[in-house]
Amino acid sequence: MKYMLLIHQGDAPTPRDPEAWAKLSEDEQKAVYADYMAINRTEGVSPGVQLDEPETATTVRVADGKTLTTDGPFAELKEAIGGFMFFEADDLDAAIELAARIPAARLGGAIEVRPVLEP
């Protein structure tokens, strides 16, 4: 099975917000990097890309043929996606275990695990 793991950053601090990031101890900061590195090296993982802050998002809709743009992400700021990765795994339990290792999950964010439809 192939899963997409969507990382919702929530309140989890990232280096892109230096003030929040500074609230983590140096050891915690190192652990975040080390955990992401270990996850990206895990067999079956295809790392996605990191996205810039949700504040930089633009949301586009089309109504009556007219393009409407709004400032900000589609979801609430806190619920916006901060990144994603793919994981090829035997079953949902394996995907849940990987999701639980993603630092954002323990720092105030959440991971959404979605099966990818096979063609």
Note whether 90 binds another protein by CB under 8 A: yes
Note whether 95 binds another protein by CB under 8 A: yes
- Judged by CB under 8 A, the chain residues 47 through 76 that form the site for another protein are none
With contacts defined by CB under 8 A, name the span among 36-44, 46-54, 61-69, 84-92 that binds another protein. Answer: 84-92
Q: How far is CA 13 from CA 61, 70, 77, 118, in A?
A: 30, 25, 14, 34
With contacts defined by CB under 8 A, name the span among 36-44, 61-69, 78-86, 88-96 that binds another protein. Answer: 88-96
- The least distance separating another protein from the CB of residue 117, rounded to whole angstroms, comes to 8
- The least distance separating another protein from the CB of residue 93, rounded to whole angstroms, comes to 5
Cα radius of gyration rounded to whole Å, the chain: 16
Note whether 98 binds another protein by CB under 8 A: no
Residues near 69 by beta carbon (within 8 Å), at least 6 away in sequence: 58, 59, 60, 61
Spatial separation of the C-alpha atoms in residues 76 and 85, rounded to whole Å: 21
List 30's β-bridge partners, or say none. none
SS3 of residue 84 by DSSP: strand
List contacts with another protein (CB under 8 A).
1, 3, 89-93, 95-96, 113, 115
